[in-house]
Structures are given as C-alpha cells and as structure tokens.
Structure 1
Amino acid sequence: MLMFLAGVIDQMDLSLEHIKKGGVHDARFGLMLTDNAVELVLHQIAKDQQARLKTYQHIADTYEHKKELEEAMGRSFEAKLKFARIEAQMTEEQARTITTMHTFRNELYHLGLQHEPILPSLALFYFATACDFIGGFKILGFSYSWNIVLPERAQKYFTRDGRFSPAEPDDFPNACRKLEEACQHKKSVTIASLADHMDSVISDSDTCLDVLAHLIYDNQRRTRDEAIIDCQTWRLAFETEGTDFAKKGGWRGGTFFDLVEWLKRNYPLQFKKDPIPSWKKQALRMRSNWNPHVALANYQSFMTVTGPMREALLEGATQVEAEIDRLVDERRGN
C-alpha cells in the first residue's frame, strides 16, 4: 500500500511542477497526470472493498453494492466514480467536476486544441480538486516491505523516524494538503478564466451572426432573428435529420427552398430568436459566482448546449465570406 500511495504523490508532484510553469503544453501534461492519479485512487477504492469482502464473508453476505463494485473493477471511469460516491469517499460536487475534467482530458488527448485558452486555469483547478479528493482516501492497511525504496519525488513528503518505518499513515493526507497549498489555486481566477472564454466564444458567434444578418434577400436586409432561423433551417435541409422529420411530418415535397420554408414553420428549432443577449447574461452571471465547481458546470453546460448553433453560425459566416471573396476576385478579373 505504501508504494501505491507514494506513486500517487510522485505523479501529483510531477503534475504540479508542470502546471506551475504556466504554459499551455505543460498545463495539458499536468492535467493528464492529475487525471491519471485520480483514476488510480478511484480504482484502489474498488480494489480495497473487493479485498475486504473476500476476507470477511459475513460482510460480503450482506453487502448491497456487489454489482456496482464489479463494474468499478472494470475499465469504466464513470463506474469507478459512482462506486467512490457509494463508499462515501467523494462528494457530489467533486464527482461532477472530476467527470467534466476527465472529459476535457480525453478531448485534449484526441483533439489537442479543445479548451486550450483556459487550460492553465483548468489544470490548476483540477489539481486542487484532486488533492482534496485524494487526501480523503481511506487507507486500508498501511503495509510496506523493509527494503522499500520510495520514488525520489515522493520521499520529501514522507516521514522517516530514524529507525524502521519509512513513512507514517498521516504522511499521505499531509502530502496532499501540502501539494494543494503549493498550487496556490485561486477560485476567483478560475471563474474569471471560464467567463472570459465564454465571452470570447460569444463574441465570435456575435460577429458571425452579423455577417449572416447583413445578407440581402429580395432587396431587404434580414434581421438577426431571421438570420438565426435561416442558419438552422438551411443546415437541417441538407441533413438527414431535417429530411426525415419533414417526411414524417407530412411534407408533400417540392424544391429545396420549399423544404427550408416548411422546416421554418414546423421544426422545433433550438433558437427562435437572436440568442446572443441571453448568452451574454449567462457569462455575466458566471462572473458573480463564488463557487468554481458550479461555474465549471455552468460553463460546460453552455458549451454543450450552444455548440451546434455556434458551429452553424461559423459555418454559415465562413461560406458567406468565401462567396464575397469569390465575387471580389471575379470583378477584379482574377
């Protein structure tokens, strides 16, 4: 068990070293190390309970969560989180934040640039949250061999009494507290970083909507509300989702433009009017939040819910600007 605990502290110490450098790439690496340490502890919680049930049959006979334990012993991160909550080794708030950060970690690994502008702040926040969770890990038996050699990074966190013991049981939670103090995470900075990124994302969408609203049809300029509806329905008309909905909804056929108009009248669009003012209010409310866990949950919800609309706005504005460039080149004789 001591080598396991020392290995976790070793990873967390390396993670902090990179996060404190402040760069995006170091933050990415630090976040991944933090997430790996969290997953190691989550799996150990399940392993410890499995060992306990095998040792004490009378406890195993009445244990109510054998199915959840079996799932936690597998590869599912979500199952491990759920079991840690069952064993009262994690709060609901910690579970929600860790779930979000694990998702970010996977996106960083596969997509690279996702959430890059706020990576340093996110990595620091995740580190502080992980220290809090890991420090509460219930150690089931503090065992070690006499010739044990602790990892070099971990040695500075473990107490030697000068005789036999290479460490004491309290060293692990104390190490987590020291690491959390050393990271110097500030809640206000995390919240401001999330709100700043929301503002930036909203500003980009606002610009895209302006580009689409300035298009002229039938000698009339569209309103922003009309542009939002057109942006959604034109995209739907090109997709199977839109055509299937139309067929099931009784559309009797016609031109592509007829389909677009039918979708405007009948499809339950996500946004019926310009959403930018509402989005700006959400970002403003986030700045007045005092809890970074709540702020992160709100940020993640916003990014998920608005994602398809923001993508459609960007795609539409890009097409418009490409067409404008084409017309300009055509008039220049290029």
Structure 2
Amino acid sequence: MLRFLAHTLEQLDLALEHVLKRDANSARFAVMLTDNALELVLHQFASDERRERSALWKREKTYEDEAELEAALGRHFDAKLRFARPRLPLSDEEAQTISICHDLRNDVYHIGLQHEAVLPAIAGLYFACAASVLERYEPNFLSYSPNMVLPERSRKFFEVQKPFGLRGREDFQEGCRALAARAGFQVGPFVEALADHLAEIIEEQDSVIDIVATGGPNQTSRDEAVTQTESWHIMFDPKAAGAAKKRLKGKRPDAGKSIAELQSWLLENGALRYTCDPVPGWRSREASLRREKNPHKALKKYRDFIVQSADIRELLLEACGQIEQWIEGQIERMRMGDV
C-alpha cells in the first residue's frame, strides 16, 4: 500500500509540473494525470471497504449499500465517486467539480475536443480540488519492506528511513497538501478565464445572428432568425422533432399548414427552446459568472452555459455558413456578369 500511495504522489507531482506550465497542451496532460490519480484512489477506497467487510468477524453482517459498493468496484467513474462522496467525505461542490472535470477529461482524451481557452484554468482547479480530496484518504493498512524501492519522484515525500514506513499515511497527506500549495490556485484569474471565453463565444454568436437575420435574400429580425433556425431543425430532424413533441404535450398542428405557418405554430405552442434572441440573456449569464467568487459555482455556471447552448449555437453557425455560401454565390455571379 505504501507503494500505491507513492505512485499516486508521483502522478500528482507530474501533473503539477504540467499545471504550472499554463499552456493548453500541458494542461491536457495535467487533467488526464490528475483524473487518473483520483480515479485509482477512489477505486482503492472501494477495494479497502470490500476487504474490511470480508473480515471473518464481519462476513455475516449485511450492508444496505452493498450494491453501491459493487458498482464502485466496476469500471464507471461516477459509481466510484458516488460511493466515496459521503465517506471520505466530499462536499457537494467538490463532487460536482470532479464530475465536470472528469467529463472534460473524456472530451479531451476520447473525443479529441480541444478546450484550449479554458484548459489551463480548469487544470489548476481540478488539481487543487483533487489534491484536497486525496489528502483525506487513509488506507486501512500499510505494507512496507526495508528493501522497497519507491518511484523516484515520490521519494522526496516519504521518510522511508523510519521503521516499516510508520509515517506513510502522514507523509502521503502532507505530500498532497504541499503539492496543492505549490499549485498556487487563485480564484480570480480562474473565473476571469472562464468568463472571457464565454464573452468570446457570445460575441461570435452575436455576429452570426446578425448575418443569419440580414445577410441572406430574406431579411428578418434577430428574434425571427433564431426561431426560424430552430424551427427548421425541428421540422427536418427526427431527434429534434421527438424532443419538441414532448414540449408540445400532445398538441398537433392542423394539416395543410405552410412552412411559415408551421414555424409560427411551433413558436406559439411552446415547441421551441429559444423564443427570441438569446444574446442578451447570455450576456447576463456572463456577467453573473464574472461576479462569482466560488470557483466550484463558477465552473458549474460555465459548464451549464456550454452544454445548454450547444445545440442552438451549432444550428446558428450552420445557418450562417449557408448564408455566407449564398453571398459568395452572388459575388461570383456579379463577377461573371462583369466579364
């Protein structure tokens, strides 16, 4: 077990090296290393509990959370986090941040999403949060041998000259605290980085909506540009139509409606998620994020915006692309007419 603790500190130490570089590529490694170290400890925490319950004098005892423990010993991170949450313990905010950062790690590692604008900031928060949580881990036992060779990076954290690693738990906890302190996480720059990225996204969408509303052959208001974009998606995408049907709660349009009438009907009957230009509301959310003093709440506000607005932002970008293609076509026709 002492070797396990040493390997955990080794990963954290390497993660911190990448956190402190404060660039996107290094942050990507930092998030993955931090996440891996945390997941291994959460799994070991569940394994410790299983070993404890399998002791001869406890084998006849029944546990209400047995299914939860078995799930934690499986492959799913959320189950491990859920089991450890009341027992380490973790606060609701810590658990929420860990879950968000684990999802982001999956985006980076499995899907290849970049997140360059915010990865360095999020890597710092995740590291500080994980180090604080790991500091609470106290294994049931420590195995130690005088001939044990610890990973090179971890040796500075352990007083291995003490007999049988008697300070192993304390050394591990002090190592977690020292690493968190060296990370130097600061709330202000973290919140600023997230809010600046939100502002960048919102400004891009502001321009996109202008182009969709006024750049094509049919001029509309910004509100209409948004509602028509979502309506088209509902009318021609089965998945979007299914979601809209739930919002309609059994209401059906009359047969024979024109496309314009159907779009109006969808708007009037609550089928659309966006009934007007979302930019003013988005700017209010950015301002709320920028005022936030709690990094966990700030991360949730940021992630909620990204997830909740993803569909309409993608649809508006696609509509904007179609308008730009139309404009290029008009320019090409004018050029050919001049030849």
TM-score tier by shorter-chain length is: over 0.9
Alignment deviations for residues 200-226 of structure 1 (CA, whole Å, 9 cap, x no partner)? 1111111101111214666xx421111
Correspondence for 2:29? 29
Q: Does structure 2 conserve the Cα–Cα contact (< 8 Å) formed by 1:253 and 1:259? A: no
Kindly provide the CA deviation profile for residues 101-140 of structure 1, in whole angstroms up to 9, marking residues without a partner as x. 0000000012323422111111111111110000111221
39-48 or 14-23, which deviates more = 14-23
Aligned match of 1:158: 158
CA distance in 1, matches of 2:130, 2:52: 25
Q: Which runs of 5+ in 1 are unaligned?
A: none
Are the aligned partners of 1:46 and 1:83 in contact in 2 as well (CA < 8 Å)? yes
Count of matched residue pairs: 332
240 and 13 in structure 1: CA distance in 2 versus 1, 3 angstrom threshold? same
Paired-residue identity, %: 38
The change in CA–CA distance for 1:57 and 1:238 in structure 2 (over 3 A counts) is same
Letter in 2 for 1:124: G
Shift of 1:60: 5.9
Moved more, 160-169 or 8-17: 160-169
Cα 1:163–1:254 shift into 2, 3 Å? closer
- The correspondence of residues 215-230 of structure 1 with structure 2, limited to 5 A, is 215=215, 221-230=219-228
Q: Which residue of 1 aligns with 2:61?
A: 61
Deviation at 1:266, TM superposition (A): 3.5
More displaced 10-residue stretch of structure 1: 77-86 or 260-269: 260-269
Structure-1 residue corresponding to 2:309: 306
Question: 1:167 & 1:57 partners in 2: Cα distance?
Answer: 28
In the alignment, what sits opposite 2:283? Answer: 280
Cα RMSD over matched residues?
2.2
Structure 1 residues 241 and 50: alpha-carbon distance in aligned structure 2, compared to 1, 3 A threshold: closer
Match of 2:298 in 1: 295
CA apart distance, 1:260: 3.7
Structure 2: distance between partners of 1:3 and 1:259 = 66
Partner of 2:78: 78
Task: Name the structure 1 match of 2:120.
Answer: 120
CA distance in 2 between counterparts of 1:301 and 1:87 reads 27
What is the TM-score when the length of structure 1 is the normalising length?
0.92
1:58 Cα deviation from its structure 2 partner: 3.4
Q: What residue number does 2:234 align with?
A: 236
Q: 2:15 touches 2:29 (CA, 8 Å); kept in 1?
A: yes
Aligned to 1:3: 3
Residue 154 of structure 1: how far off its partner (Å): 0.2
Query: Does the CA-based 8 Å contact 1:251-1:262 persist in structure 2?
Result: no
C-alpha deviation, 1:253, in angstroms: 4.2
Match of 1:326 among 319, 325, 329: 329
Q: TM-score, normalised by structure 2?
A: 0.91
- Contact 1:242–1:263 (CA under 8 A) maintained in structure 2: no
Instruction: Read off the aligned partner of 1:8 and give its amino acid letter.
Output: T
Q: Does the CA-based 8 Å contact 2:145-2:164 persist in structure 1?
A: no
Distance 1:60 1:213 in 2: 70
- Rounded Cα–Cα distance in structure 2 between residues aligned with 1:104 and 1:113: 9
Decide whether the 8 Å contact of 1:212 with 1:320 is kept in 2.
yes
